[in-house]
Structure 1
C-alpha cells in the first residue's frame, strides 16, 4: 500500500514537461482530427551509456484537453515495410481524403535495388490510430534519388504540407533540405526533386501556413547543440527569408525537433529534450509549450518551461 501511495504522489507532483514519462520519446509530429490532438512519436530505447540511437518503432499519444494524455502504444515499425531495416527516425502523419498517411524515415535493406541508406516510406490507414500498412510496397524516396550529400543518412525527417489549392508537398533532409510535389494519392512524386537549403539548416523541417505566410521551421546551427530556426515565404516553394532562432538549446540533448499545431484556439510548439531521469541525447522526451506570433507574423522566441501548458477547454 505504501509503495502504491508513493507512486501515486510521485506522478502527481511531477512537472508536466516532458509530457510523456512512461517511455522515452522523440521527434513529435502533432495532428488534429475531430477534436482530438494526436502526437506521433519516435521511441528511444538506447541504454543509459549507449553511444548511439536505438529506435525500434513509432508510437501514438492523444489528448482532448492538453493535460490528460492517452498512450496508444507502438503503431508502426520498420518491420511493417518488407524493404526496411534499422531505426525508426522522424516521421509525420497527415490526413487526406479520409485516409491517414504516415511518412517515415528509416533505412533500406542492404544489397537491394536501392543500394541501402536512409529512405522515406509511407504507411496508410483509415483511422489516425491505424492499423497502418505499407502504402506502396517500396520506399517513396531512396538514397540514389538525391546525390547532393555524401553521407548515407541525408534522406530523413519528412514533413508534408497540403496547401489551400490541394497541392501536397514533401520536404525532408539532413545536411540539405529537399522538396518535391506529391500527387493527390500521396504515394507518388509529381515532379522533380529540388534542393533548397535555408540558412543554418541541419534537419527536421516542419512546414505550415498561417495568415498568408508559409513557415519553414527546422533544427539548425549544428556546430553546437541544435537550435530551432525558421524562415517565412509567400509560396510553399520559397524563396525563404531567414527570420532567426526561436528556440535555444534544450536540456541534455544535442538534437531538438519542432512540431507546430493550432488546437482549440491556441498555438503549440512540440519538441524534445533529455530532461527525464536517466535521459540523454539518445534517451529523449517530448515537451510542449505555447507558441506566439508578433503582429507582422514573425514568431516570438519559445519559452521552454517545466510546467508546460494549461488545460485546454
Structure 2
C-alpha cells in the first residue's frame, strides 16, 4: 500500500508540476492574438483580438475584441467581449489589432477595422476609438466617426495600411498614436484622446511590417514592431530619446514563432518584473488564423538595450 501511495503521489506531483509550469499559451478557451496589456490599479488587463476562423480557413475571421484580467500573471479571468466592429456605425469587416489606454479615469479603446463606403470614406482600413468608464466596458463609439480613414494616408497604395494602433502617453501628458502596415505613421493626440493635435508623420523603421508598440523605460523610448524575418514575422526594436524620434534600430529581440506567420508585441512592467506578450499558433488545431497569446520574461542590459526574448512553454511564474 505504501508503494502504491508513493507511486500515486509521484504521479500527482508530476501532473501538478506540468500543469503549473507549462502555461504558454496562457489562454486555452479562445484563440487570441495581438496582445495589448495595461496595468491599472494593481491588475493587469489584457485586450486581445479573437480568431474564429475554421481549421481549414485561409483568411482571418475576427468578429470582436476580448478582455482578460490577472493579478498574478498566471490565472487569467475572461471579462467579456466589450467591443466589436458593430460598436461603430461606420465600420464593417473584421476586428484587427487594438490597443486600450487609461486617462483621467476613462478608458480609450483604439481599434483597426474596415470602413464602409460612404461620404466619409471609399472604404479600406480605418482606426476608430471607443470609450468606457471601466477597463472592461461597456464601450461606446467616442466620436461617431473614424479617427483615421484610408484617404488620410497616401504613402502606400494598398488599402489595409491603416491598422494596428498603439497609444503612448508621455510623462508630460502628451499622447501619441502610432499605427501602420508597410510604413509606420504617428501623430500627436489632443488631451481629449479622440482628436489629432497635429499632422500625420511617417517613418520607415528597418524591416518594419506592422504591429508597433511604444513605451518609455528610464530615459529611453522603445519602439517594438513586427519585422521581416526569413520566412515569417519576427520582433525588432529601436530606441530614441524622444517619442517623436529619430529612432535607432537595435536589432531583433524575438525570432519567428511556431505555426504562425504573424507575431505582435506587448510589454508591461508589473510588480518588479518585465513581461513580453506575443502570439503563436501552438494550441491544438492552431495556426496563422487561429493564434494564441503567450508571455515570457523580458530582460534589459545595463545600457538599456533589450536581451533576446526566449520563447518558452513554461511561461512565467505566479506573482505573489
Question: What band does the TM-score fall into relative to the shorter chain?
Answer: over 0.9
Please give the alpha-carbon distance, in whole angstroms, between the structure 2 residues aligned to 1:229 and 1:196: 15
Spell out, residue by residue over 1:34-54, the C-alpha distance to the aligned partner (whole angstroms, 9 max, x if none): 010000000000000101000
Q: Is the 8 A contact 2:21 2:317 kept in 1?
A: no
Which residue in the other structure is 1:298 paired with? 305
1:15 correspondence with 2:35: no
Query: Displacement of 1:13 after TM fit?
Result: 7.0
Q: 2:128 aligns with which of 121, 126, 133?
A: 121
Q: CA RMSD in A?
A: 1.4
TM-score (structure 2 length as normaliser): 0.93
Please give the alpha-carbon distance, in whole angstroms, between the structure 2 residues aligned to 1:222 and 1:149: 21
Which residue in the other structure is 1:263 paired with? 270
Q: Which runs of 4+ in 1 moved over 4 A?
A: 9-14
Which residue in the other structure is 1:133 paired with? 140
Q: 2:102 aligns with which of 89, 95, 106?
A: 95
Residues 202-241 of structure 1 aligned to structure 2 (within 5 Å):
202-221=209-228, 224-241=231-248
Give unpaired runs (5+ residues) of structure 2.
Answer: 1-14
Residues 242-257 of structure 1 aligned to structure 2 (within 5 Å):
242-257=249-264
Q: Is the 8 A contact 2:21 2:314 kept in 1?
A: no
SS at structure 2 position matched to 1:66 = coil
TM-score (structure 1 length as normaliser): 0.95
Spell out, residue by residue over 1:153-188, the C-alpha distance to the aligned partner (whole angstroms, 9 max, x if none): 000000000001100000000000000000000000
Query: Displacement of 1:77 after TM fit?
Result: 0.2
Which residue in the other structure is 1:193 paired with? 200
1:179 correspondence with 2:175: no
Spell out, residue by residue over 1:277-307, the C-alpha distance to the aligned partner (whole angstroms, 9 max, x if none): 0000000000000000000000000000001
SS at structure 2 position matched to 1:92 = strand
1:278 correspondence with 2:290: no
1:164 correspondence with 2:181: no
Query: Displacement of 1:12 after TM fit?
Result: 4.2
SS at structure 1 position matched to 2:151 = helix
